[in-house]
Structure 1
Amino acid sequence: MKNYYSILELKLFAHAADVKRAYRRLALLYHPDKNPTPEAAAVFVEINEAYQVLSDPQRKFDYDQMLQGAPPPFTVQTHQRDPRFRRGPARESASVRRQVLQAMRDYLQYAVACSRLALLFSVVLIADYSLPANQTREEILSISRKRESRYAQSSQLALDGGEVITLNPLTAQEFKLGSIITIHTTALFSVPLLLENEKTRFKTRVPVSIYGNFKFLPLIMLATSLLGTFWWKGVEFRFNVGIVNLLLILLGFVFLRIHSF
């Protein structure tokens, strides 16, 4: 037997006035005129069903008797005032769906906080890329070949600062032993952007980095974080956007550490 008091978020045997207040409060959240999603309509079916029983004094009395273990004088039947809310097979999961929506509502503030944090992070990334780059001069101490796979090779440049740079063999031909190279890195996170041969002025960009092949990440994060921060309609939508923004933040930190010439 369903617990209609639980559906209306009431204590057992609550008074009629409490039932009416609870119904009005939940109707504002789940009525199709207020929340047009199919999930909300399914939840409202059970809310409406519970109210039909508990708002009628005789039916509420009989229902309370059944909760206390007394034999029912008749079987409780409900009649929907609106044919849109008649139950069907797809309505059986309404209680679970309602619990999920309630959990989203309880943790919505944390999801919004993730969106705000993602907005701040995306702005910092854009500023990091836009600010004038730092330049570091290094001497090439050695050049060696490395077989990455059966058909692929790479060249490794050992620099006097202790760093080892991996290049494809074609690009590595532009750098010679003893050459001075300039590494251009971002101002805030020191992400490499450009490698320059000081003598020949040959330059090559860093394709594998958050500002190279992964440059879509800061832009997507900026768009989704703006939605999660400033869009105030729909609990489920805002909660899901917050989760997406949290994942984008984690990916951003990972991509900040991944770069290859």
Structure 2
Amino acid sequence: MQNYYYVLGVANTASVAEIERAYRQLHARIYRRAIVDPALNERLQTAYAGYQILADPRRRWAYDRLMQQEPESFAPPKRPPDPTKVLLAQAAPKARWVNWGLLAFCLLLALDWALPLREYPHELVLARAIVSIGSSVSNPQMAYDISTPHTKFRLPSAIAHRAREGQRVTVWRTPLLRVVRKVSSPTSPDGPAPFEPYGGGIYSGPLALLPMVLLGVAVVGVLPKRPAELRVNTAVVGMLLWIVAVVLLILY
């Protein structure tokens, strides 16, 4: 038996006004195409037949009694699952593990930041390599990659003279990820006051916001009872942020 409620897209408790509005909207949406499409024309005729029955209280009462004799008729036909939702549901558990991994990475950064810095006094500057850090030809920016026996760091050109080849410097770096946080050049004309390398690493300046954003994304991704789409999205965004963080750790 035809389920006219399903055809019109309304609940079996819909009012006459709702049924009429649903039919008018369906008619306005497909009647032009129904002229040349037999399938749509048949659908429109079925919808009109259902509208005539459901809009008449007496005919609707009789129709509902018949439908009650076939309980399955009130249930809308099962539609195939949305492929996108199926993929998201399958990927959600893996995405949550990815977010746990990102959270562990953030905790590693926090531990590396909190532990005392390791000091390397009297480090000999072995090499200085000039590098470009600007992408604009009209406004080129240069820096120097400095190498010592135990550390590597980058200095902006404005203070690169404080670490020349053959000069002795003191370097402080983090114990786990070996991020250089401070450098001192006692023999420099500018004095022995410590200064930060280019960008200050990932633990200071504007770059310090990156681990905090990554931490927030990872926490959202591991919270219980989160939608599959949210878990996957946080994992994707978190991985992109992680790649940026790793690149910054390698470069600076």
One fold, TM greater than 0.5? yes
1:189 is aligned to 2:177: yes
State the shift of 1:183 in Å: 1.3
Instruction: Quote the residue 1:78 is aligned against.
Output: 7
Structure 1 counterpart of 2:158, from 170, 177, 185: 170
State the shift of 1:157 in Å: 7.4
Instruction: Quote the residue 1:210 is aligned against.
Output: 202
Cα distance in 1 for residues equivalent to 2:132 and 2:226 = 54
State the shift of 1:197 in Å: 1.5
Structure 1 residues 198, 116: closer, same or farther in 2, change over 3 A?
Answer: same
Larger Rg belongs to: 2
List aligned pairs for 1:249-260, cutoff 5 A.
249-259=242-252
1:234 is aligned to 2:246: no
Q: Which runs of 5+ in 2 are unaligned?
A: 30-78
Q: How many residues align?
A: 183
Structure 1 residues 105, 201: closer, same or farther in 2, change over 3 A?
Answer: same
8 Å CA contact 1:140, 1:157 repeated in 2: no
Cα distance in 2 for residues equivalent to 1:243 and 1:210 = 21
Q: Secondary structure at the match of 1:182?
A: strand
Cα distance in 2 for residues equivalent to 1:146 and 1:255 = 15
8 Å CA contact 2:99, 2:235 repeated in 1: yes
The CA RMSD measured in Å over matched residues stands at 3.8
List aligned pairs for 1:87-102, cutoff 5 A.
98-102=82-86
Q: Secondary structure at the match of 1:187?
A: coil
1:129 is aligned to 2:113: yes
State the shift of 1:119 in Å: 0.9
State the shift of 1:173 in Å: 3.9
State the shift of 1:225 in Å: 1.0
State the shift of 1:249 in Å: 2.4
Cα distance in 1 for residues equivalent to 2:231 and 2:156 = 44
Deviations 1:63-120 (A, max 9, x none): xxxxxxxxxxxxxx82332559x6877xxxxx89922122111211011111111111
8 Å CA contact 2:118, 2:173 repeated in 1: yes
Q: Scaled by the length of structure 1, what TM-score is found? A: 0.56
Cα distance in 2 for residues equivalent to 1:238 and 1:130 = 29
Q: Secondary structure at the match of 1:120?
A: helix
Q: Single out whichever of 166-175 and 152-161 deviates more from structure 2.
A: 152-161
Structure 1 counterpart of 2:125, from 140, 143, 159: 140
Q: Secondary structure at the match of 2:225?
A: coil
State the shift of 1:211 in Å: 2.1
Identical-pair percentage: 17
Structure 1 residues 216, 161: closer, same or farther in 2, change over 3 A?
Answer: same
Structure 2 counterpart of 1:111, from 74, 87, 95: 95
Q: Scaled by the length of structure 2, what TM-score is found? A: 0.58
Q: Single out whichever of 164-173 and 243-252 deviates more from structure 2.
A: 164-173
State the shift of 1:239 in Å: 2.4
Cα distance in 2 for residues equivalent to 1:144 and 1:106 = 48
Which amino acid is the alignment partner of residue 198 of structure 1? P
8 Å CA contact 1:139, 1:181 repeated in 2: yes
Q: Secondary structure at the match of 2:158?
A: helix
Cα distance in 2 for residues equivalent to 1:236 and 1:147 = 40
